[in-house]
Structure formats: structure tokens, C-alpha cells
Chains A and B, each alone.
Chain A
Amino acid sequence: MEQDFRRSMGWLHTWAGVVLGSILFAVFWMGTLSVFDSEIDSWMEPATRLPAATSPLPLETFRPSLNDAIAAKAAFWNVIMPDDRQAVVHVHYRTRQKFITREFDPVTGKELPNSGTLGATGFIFPFHYTLEIGLMNLGEWLVGLASMAMLALCVTGVIIHRKLFAEFFTFRPTKKPRRMLLDLHNMAGVLGLPFHIILTFSGLVILSTTYFPGSVKAVYPNPRGYFFEVNGLTFLPVKPGKAGASVASLDKAASYVRNVWGGAEPHTILVINPGTTTSRMAFFRESDRQVIVDRDVISFEGPTGKNFSRSPAPHPIIRAERFLSGVHLIQFHHWALRWLYFILGLGSCVLIGTGFLFWLETRRKTQESTFGFRVVEGLASGSVTGIIIATLVFFVANRLLFPNANLFGQDRATLEIGAFYFAWLATFLHGWIRPHRMWIEQSATIGVLAALAALLNWITTGDHPLRTLFHRYLWPVAGMDVVLLVGAALALLTTIRLSRRTRVPTPLNVPFGERL
């Protein structure tokens, strides 16, 4: 009975991993990079590498961009103030045609040149939870399916682990490759289990309204009501107003808000339906010193500047949801935790990658020539090393393309993303065409691309690691370059070791019962 149960759990673990492993790796890889999305943005947008301002600029400095938004009949306009992680002021507004982002110098208030990239916040982070598949929310559904599978994989992994406590710390690098892979898989899985489970579960909670819309409909007459309450947007106007109204003084409202909050600064200022009679101004308090995503929002009537509302204390359930969102989204500023998340995220990628490799190694001897094996092999190369290569190509393209690059009517940001997908597709094809050399060649490619990205950053901006390490405001760039160089060294080391192993083949002995 117990053996049957364990065997069925093993079957579920194996096939859920093989079928959804590619999506899981993409989600965890992009999520890991998203931990440092602002820092990657700083690397990809050299014009934003500026020293932090000592005091915030008056909000009226951004009035011209608000007027532009009103002229373009924008649905909203917002300002995101600088913080520890991003030095520049971001202004966003959405017109009927497109979403516009403008960046301003935090000291002079002068508009910075358009970087022409989506960066990490515009591409890597959305990819993490949508896979950039917008059609009928298909991407979010696939991510949800993979997340549920991840939870099942965590539970079944513990069940099928025969010696969970006896081999809790076991890692045998001198044993045969397959044994070492299984040890590494078990180690990353068991020791990182709290991280895998909490991050996966909190991710599901964040997107729960997509997966379980019925639960919201059961409580709220209109699902928008839930969205407004969760995000502290209860001030949003219901009826559209007439055009031609102005927006009252932003600084006067900001001064009132600071008094209410005892001196705390607003982090985001939002104007809904700017230039209409029903417009609203809202000030979101900064909440980067706590885990929970606080939505303390004070709103004003847009045309008059009259105080309209303050977000009510959230329901305990919503508060729990905000805590889980905070744990997942890490909007707080805690550098040590950010690095720990990054390292543990890489651990999750190791877990998924070694799972794929172990599946291949246990079947290589008996099924290597079969169609199914070749499919999974190509899929594994594209999913594991392939997406890393594609990401590095994205970074290299960012440093190589001219500021106003345009090809076949495609702008710079689209070309960067095109380079990402082209490289990713190529790695899948490479895996299918050259199965015996794919890991060596793709590892070498990672090493070369990572080093090239750091080198190109130096050549195109003059910011080499020796310079960036000695300027506090350039530490995000230094961090990115150091990670790229360490990654390059590890990838090249892996290439050398794999090449040596190929030259001196070792016999494969499959211990009984080792196959999952």
C-alpha cells in the first residue's frame, strides 16, 4: 500500500516536473531577476544613473507633464518619487494610444532622454507572472497551473524522498554525475523548501482573483469593489466628468498629507481622469520599512483640492493578503533580504534544472534514441540554459543598439525583446540539433555573453566595476556587473569541466531503485 502510494507520488513528481518544468524555470528565473528590477533598470538605462537628491522636488515641477496628460485625455497620471533603489522621478500616464513613461532628474527636475528600453520593470517582471502571453490571460493561467504543480512537486518530493532525515545534509560531489545531480536536487529542494512553498503560495494568492473569480463575486457585488479595496483605491470616481477642469495645487495637498502622516513622505501621487470635473488626486504613503504592503492613501477632489477621503483600515483578510503580497513582491527596502531572496531564487532554478538533468541522465542509456527523450532534451536545454542565454542577449542588445534604433518600423524596446525571443528559440533548436554538445556549448555561450555584457557596459558608458564600486549611487550597476562576471566565470568553469568529462567518458552504473 505504502509502496503503491510512494510510486504514484513518484509518477506525479516526475511528470509534473517534466511537463511544467520549462514554465516553472522561466517563472523562477524571471522572478529571481525581478528581485533586482530597479537595479537592472539602472544598468539598462545609463541616463538614470544619478546621485540621489537630498530633498524632494516640489510636485509642481511636474505640472507640464500633467498638462501633457490632460491634453492627451489620459485616463490617469502618476508620479513615483525617488527612493533608496531608484534615484530618478518616474512619471507615467496612459493615453488612448499608449502607456507613456517619462523620467526626470531628481535634483534639477529636467526631463531625461528616453532610454528606449522596457528594462526589467517593463519586461522581466511582467514576464515573471504573465509569460508575456496576454491573450485571454493565458499567461497568468499557465503560471497558475505551474505554481499549483510546484506545490504538488514540493509535497510529492518530500513523500518520495526515502531518507529525508538521514540524507538531510548529504551532498556527494565525488560520486557519479547522476548521484550528484540527485543530491543537488534533494538539497536545493529540501533545504529551500520553506522558500519554494511560501513564494509559490503567495504568488498564487496575488493572482487569486484570476484563478478564483467566484470567491470575489460571492462577497462583492462588483469585482471592481474588491480591486479597489485591496489596492486602497476606494476614492476612485464612479462617473466620468466633463473636460475643461484644472487640477489643484499638488504641493498644497502634499503638505496636508505630510502633516497627517507625521512627516512621512508620499511615494506615489496619482491623478485619475486629470482635467475632468470628477478627477481625484491621491497620495500613497511610502511603506518600504515593513513587509506588509501598506495602502494608506489620502485623496482629494482634483479640481478643488478639497480633502475627499482616507483609505479605511483594511479587513483582517485583506491585511493577510497584503502581508503575503509583501513577502512575495519585496517592495520593502532591506538589502540583506533582497540578496537572500536572489540567492534562494537561484536555488529554486537549480532545483528545477537538476530535476530536468536527472530525468535525462536516468533515461539516457535506455531511451537516448527515442523521440520523447530527444524532445525533453531539447526542451531542457532551451528551458534551463536557453532562457539564461536569451536574458543575456537582451542585456547585450540593450548595450549594442543605438539610442533611437529602428528596424523594419520596430522601435528599440521591441528590438531588444525580439533579440530575447530569437535567442531563446535558437537555444531550443540548438538543443535538438546538437544534443551531445548542447550543455557545453550553451554554458560557454552564457560565459561569453555575461562577460560581454559587463564589458559593453564599460565601453558604452565608461562605468567599469572599479569606478562603480567607489560611488555609492553606482552600486546597483556595480552589483549587476559583478553578478555578470561571477556568472561568466562559473559558466566557463562548468564548460571546462563538462568538456573534460566528455573527453574521459565515465561508465554509468544505475543503482537499483534510483530512477524516479
Chain B
Amino acid sequence: MVTVMIYTAFGLILFVAFALLALTQFPHRRATKTPQLLPGAALKARLLAGLLLVGVLIMAIWREGGGFGFLLWGSLLSLSACAVSLILGWWPHLLALLARLMLSLNSRHTTVRLDVKG
């Protein structure tokens, strides 16, 4: 049971990492009906996503060993990226909360208004 929870946690962290990467792109922010990020904030989000991706790799190798850890990470990577794509395609509103949270990365509290109808 603990193992299931750990693998689920790995998957969720990777999912969040890919969601952060996706939500720095204009079409996906439009799909979630949230304003666009400033360039600096997008960079911060991407760095955070990168850290999460590498962090899961380290944790997977630490827990499972080199061979299994790397395979588990690589497989979950593909699967979680696909999950982000499918959710952005079918139910983008599920990522709206994360997209809004990412606005806090805008350092000067200024956001570019976005015409969501467009």
C-alpha cells in the first residue's frame, strides 16, 4: 500500500511539473481562462518544473535503485505528460487553479490582460 502511494506521489509530482511547463504556454493559459504570465514568471515556472522532474528522478533512483528507478521515472514521465495533454484537451478547467497560482510568480503583481473570448 505504501508503495502504491509512493508511486502515485511520483506520478502526481511529474504531472504538476508538466502542468507547470504547459501552463507557461499561451494556448493552454487561454484554455484555462487565466491571464498570461510575464516572461520572468514563465522562466521561474519552468525552473520549478525542471527541479520537480529531476527531484522525482533522484527519489526514484534512491528508492528503487538505478535500473528500476530510471525505468519507473522514464515511464511515469511519458504517462504524466500524456495526462496533462489529455486534461488540457478535455477538461482544462481542472488546471485553472494551478494556472491562477502561477500568477503569484509574477514579481511585480502585474499581469497581461487576456481576452479569453479570442
Contact = CB atoms under 8 A, between A and B. Distances in A.
Contact of B78 (A168, A170, A195, A332): A195
Nearest to A195: B78
Contacts of A193: 78
Contact of A337 (B27, B72, B89): B72
Given A170-B27, A172-B89, A336-B3, A192 B82 contact: yes
A169 B84 contact: yes
Interface in B8-58: 18, 21-22, 25, 27-28
Interface residues of A, number: 31
A340 interface: yes
Interface string B56-96: 00000000010110011011111101101110111000000
Given A166-B25, A169-B28, A341 B88 contact: no
Q: What does DSSP make chain B's interface, helix, strand, loop or mixed?
A: helix
A479 to B, nearest CB: 15
B86 A327 contact: no
Nearest to A188: B82
A347 B68 contact: no
B28 to A, nearest CB: 6
A145 B101 CA distance: 50
Contacts of A290: 65, 67-68
Nearest to A339: B75
A280 B18 CA distance: 55
Interface in A176-197: 183, 187-188, 191-195
A343 B86 CA distance: 15
Contacts of A198: 74
Most buried by B among A188, A336, A341: A336
B88 A169 contact: yes
A136 to B, nearest CB: 35
A340 B77 CA distance: 10
A340 B67 contact: no
Most buried by A among B71, B81, B86: B71
Interface string A344-359: 1001000000000000
Given A337-B68, A337-B72, A173 B79 contact: no
